[in-house]
Structure 1
């Protein structure tokens, strides 16, 4: 997710943070541009977009060692000259490289939404917000550095290839739809002027001298640029120069950070460009204002303007108003989505959830990701949580009979709770029939470690389930003590037949599905109990194994949730999971889990909590 990448870079303690797409190649002049930017007095944000190169005759034999196609070594200066000579500007709309000084100011106002990386709008959105917010001096350094896409050039067979950004030509893919939806809802991107983020102030480098060029509506000529190379000396000249500046686009940050403030370094205002010197004032003036150097600088800036005037971007032709889909959906059936998310042994972790447990779902997902577990699937029982999961890039399917879930009054024992729980066994049965093994987990179950290998060790014909008995002196399999919020079911004939019986029993019951589990598998009153931790269903011969409470404790066992150090106590005890049940009400359950420290999600930023968060003071306005 793009917002977490930016947040990770912002948390850096280095002087400069750089966020770069992995296929880009940078030559050493990038460091010179960074050094120049680092000397600016104000917080800044550098953006760059790689140009197109239809044929690239060099390759890197090892880091820093370039060779031609024939194997002869070549100096990087030649590579750099080739890139600058052959580049064509076709990419636009944001950037693929970002760099900024790690000061206290945020990059933009507000919170960045959870864009899916590489699926459109996130780069353009970030540049738009940075320019609109005006916290930092934002500029485009694409022309000042030698940058190109490594996918552009020659393929493995030596054939010339081209890489054209098809972000806006791929059709309405669900990822693109989701990013479009987020770009519309968050920030000012929805209200942007046409072509807004294609025209930031540009940084160019001419013979070792850096110049900022201001975009303007007017077509510039060599003579116009030449006239601007001398600072205005009279009031009329000054007014004329400032009038030209006011007519330029997107000049808020440039005017604020440069034209409206005194510079420490010797500088010269160029009307539509500004140069900064780096040494003794007299020496610098002699160097810059000499007629030859001035003419070379004029020519360089003119060539740059001529190049960029040819820029023709898909985004520049977009309407100022986006038209996202009213509803979002994944183009996958249950079966096709299962094929994408299950592990090699066709095991899936299933959570069934409504919008009232949105934050707890995300904490659960973040915990699984921290444990490097990815074979999970979410079953949404209302439209709101389904849309939310799609926007978060989560694998989700929705019940054909979506419900309206009460946000705070769907707790244990309520009519809402009874309806919701009966969905769970029905979807598990559906997945079992498709040939997949299911680890069912309520989202209020905290996973300390990966229990999958342990659960699989029970083998087929066994349903391994958590016990709801909290009294240590009592058997695990007492009547109505099978917890249907955490169990492992094999996709075998005995289990499928047993679940079919559970679903039918629950449909006729005015209680939740949990009593149906016990009464079907262990018999009413526990007539099919075997020992202290087993039941055997007589018709299917399915064995129910009640899991060890030390490893799989329920929410009332040993008062674990009330311990001063829940995490440490559970780990010492050998917990694999801990169920946050035996407490009434969503709010109380949420407060208990957050206060215990067993919480993995930051709802304000919609990101999983990370160890690097808090290493540096960060703020969002």
Structure 2
């Protein structure tokens, strides 16, 4: 009998241990149903969850492409936050619970943030979402709902990420805007690219160009031909087709440009904005004065680069990320309310004297012999940097004359260097619709 008891004693010990473990597990489940349920759900969906103590936070990683990497400045003790994030991709939608640190000047708060990220591409990249929130109000429950709908079958682009990729060493980018009509094959975008390729030593500048798409089809076309494309939504306005000069949609288009420029300066980047119908032939950065706060092309140049009486063209403008230029763009945007029926260029012409007097800011107006346009252009091809189809209404008219300009440039650059250096070469554009 003693031998039999000894033989079954280990089995009894195992059964007793299992019973004890079961009791503990059931107590744990009943005490923390929500937490355990969410962890089990996360494990079942293949999400890596690091369980934290009260003094820690949870880092949750899920695979998507090009995440929004949001950072909001903080200044006070860190707190715990529960964030429910719905990530929609080509795989089944999943729920992710994230505990993050929030900065607040008030007692600890519970913040519930629901963020929906739309994508129709396979989820194949790692994402770490970082959010810091500034608050100065009494403790309260805050619910923030942020929904980003799918643009097209491409990941949502983060402007800051795109700026980092495209910027030159001095944090300068080249910007232009495009809609579906301009991005179509054999339209303005193709002509714009061709000018860089046939220009003198400027093809490398294309790697610093960010193309801002105003509609999904333009964005899709841009992605086929260029690595740096950004989708910009304008609520309540259809910017897909060609816009008539001075129309309501045209005004929204040009003022959206100014708002975007302000955002880029505030993110710490300089920019050279160029309308898409500006053909580039030589490097325009070489003529920007180092002491200039910002530089503009002109429809009419009166002979002095600092003369505010020059007639500027805001379709080609360089600005630095500094306090003065940011103030200029804020002032410019606010001035729209004073002149609601005017485009951004006409409003700028109205306020340019105020800008110089109040901020003050140093402007450089560039001679049209360097930055030419159909309104007024230099006659010496040895000096020209760019050519703009301003003073020309209608997409087809612009394309007709710009192709003539490109052909004339090819004829000029096909000449021997020694012959070109003699000078005397000008634009010969017989049959032009806008340029004469």
User: If the length of structure 1 is used for normalisation, what is the TM-score?
Assistant: 0.38
| Equivalent position of 2:415 in the other structure | none
Helix, strand or coil at the partner of 1:424: helix
| Equivalent position of 1:451 in the other structure | 284
| Equivalent position of 2:313 in the other structure | 483
Change (3 A) 1:346 1:585: same
| Equivalent position of 1:539 in the other structure | 358
Q: CA deviation at 1:479?
A: 5.5
| Equivalent position of 1:390 in the other structure | 223
Question: Is residue 215–residue 240 contact of structure 2 (8 Å, CA) maintained in 1?
Answer: no
| Equivalent position of 2:268 in the other structure | 435
| Equivalent position of 1:586 in the other structure | 395
Question: Is residue 469–residue 476 contact of structure 1 (8 Å, CA) maintained in 2?
Answer: no
| Equivalent position of 1:368 in the other structure | 196
Distance 1:173 1:337 in 2: 19
1:517 aligns with 2:342: no
| Equivalent position of 1:505 in the other structure | 335
| Equivalent position of 2:131 in the other structure | none
Change (3 A) 1:503 1:479: same
Distance 1:386 1:544 in 2: 33
Change (3 A) 1:414 1:598: farther
Distance 1:440 1:599 in 2: 25
| Equivalent position of 1:404 in the other structure | 238
- Deviations along 1:395-415, whole A, 9 cap, x unmatched? 11122326423634x143233
Question: Is residue 305–residue 364 contact of structure 2 (8 Å, CA) maintained in 1?
Answer: no
Q: How do residues 129-208 of structure 1 correspond to structure 2 at under 5 angstroms?
A: 171=122
Change (3 A) 1:430 1:415: same
Q: CA deviation at 1:507?
A: 4.7
- Deviations along 1:291-318, whole A, 9 cap, x unmatched? xxxxxxxxxxxxxxxxxxxxxxxxxxxx
| Equivalent position of 2:385 in the other structure | 576
Question: Is residue 159–residue 230 contact of structure 2 (8 Å, CA) maintained in 1?
Answer: yes
Q: CA deviation at 1:331?
A: 4.4
Helix, strand or coil at the partner of 1:557: coil
Change (3 A) 1:515 1:401: same
Question: Is residue 175–residue 272 contact of structure 2 (8 Å, CA) maintained in 1?
Answer: yes
User: If the length of structure 2 is used for normalisation, what is the TM-score?
Assistant: 0.53
Distance 1:480 1:550 in 2: 14
Helix, strand or coil at the partner of 1:522: helix
- Deviations along 1:315-363, whole A, 9 cap, x unmatched? xxxxxxxxxx992224430001000000100000010221221221232
Change (3 A) 1:454 1:595: closer
Q: How do residues 80-479 of structure 1 correspond to structure 2 at under 5 angstroms?
A: 171=122, 327-358=152-183, 359-368=187-196, 371=202, 372-373=204-205, 374-401=207-234, 403-405=237-239, 407-408=241-242, 410-455=243-288, 457-459=289-291, 462-469=293-300
Gaps of 5+ in 2: 1-120, 126-149, 410-436
Distance 1:330 1:392 in 2: 17
Distance 2:168 2:227 in 1: 16
Distance 1:579 1:590 in 2: 11
Distance 1:476 1:413 in 2: 29
Distance 2:300 2:245 in 1: 16
Q: How do residues 33-72 of structure 1 correspond to structure 2 at under 5 angstroms?
A: none
Question: Is residue 306–residue 363 contact of structure 2 (8 Å, CA) maintained in 1?
Answer: no
- Deviations along 1:122-166, whole A, 9 cap, x unmatched? xxxxxxxxxxxxxxxxxxxxxxxxxxxxxxxxxxxxxxxxxxxxx
Q: CA deviation at 1:542?
A: 0.6
Distance 1:475 1:433 in 2: 27
Question: Is residue 466–residue 484 contact of structure 1 (8 Å, CA) maintained in 2?
Answer: yes
Helix, strand or coil at the partner of 2:358: coil
Distance 2:167 2:315 in 1: 20
Q: CA deviation at 1:490?
A: 0.6
Question: Is residue 195–residue 280 contact of structure 2 (8 Å, CA) maintained in 1?
Answer: yes
Distance 1:488 1:495 in 2: 10
Compute the RMSD of aligned alpha carbons: 2.9
Aligned residues: 255
**Greater relative contact order, per chain length (Cα 8 Å cut-off, separation 6+):** 1
Question: Is residue 329–residue 390 contact of structure 1 (8 Å, CA) maintained in 2?
Answer: no
Distance 1:406 1:391 in 2: 18
Distance 2:196 2:312 in 1: 24
Change (3 A) 1:340 1:546: same
Distance 2:160 2:261 in 1: 13
Q: CA deviation at 1:493?
A: 0.3
Distance 2:273 2:352 in 1: 17
TM superposition outliers: structure 1 runs of 4+ over 6 Å = 472-476
Return the index of the structure with the highest Cα Rg.
1
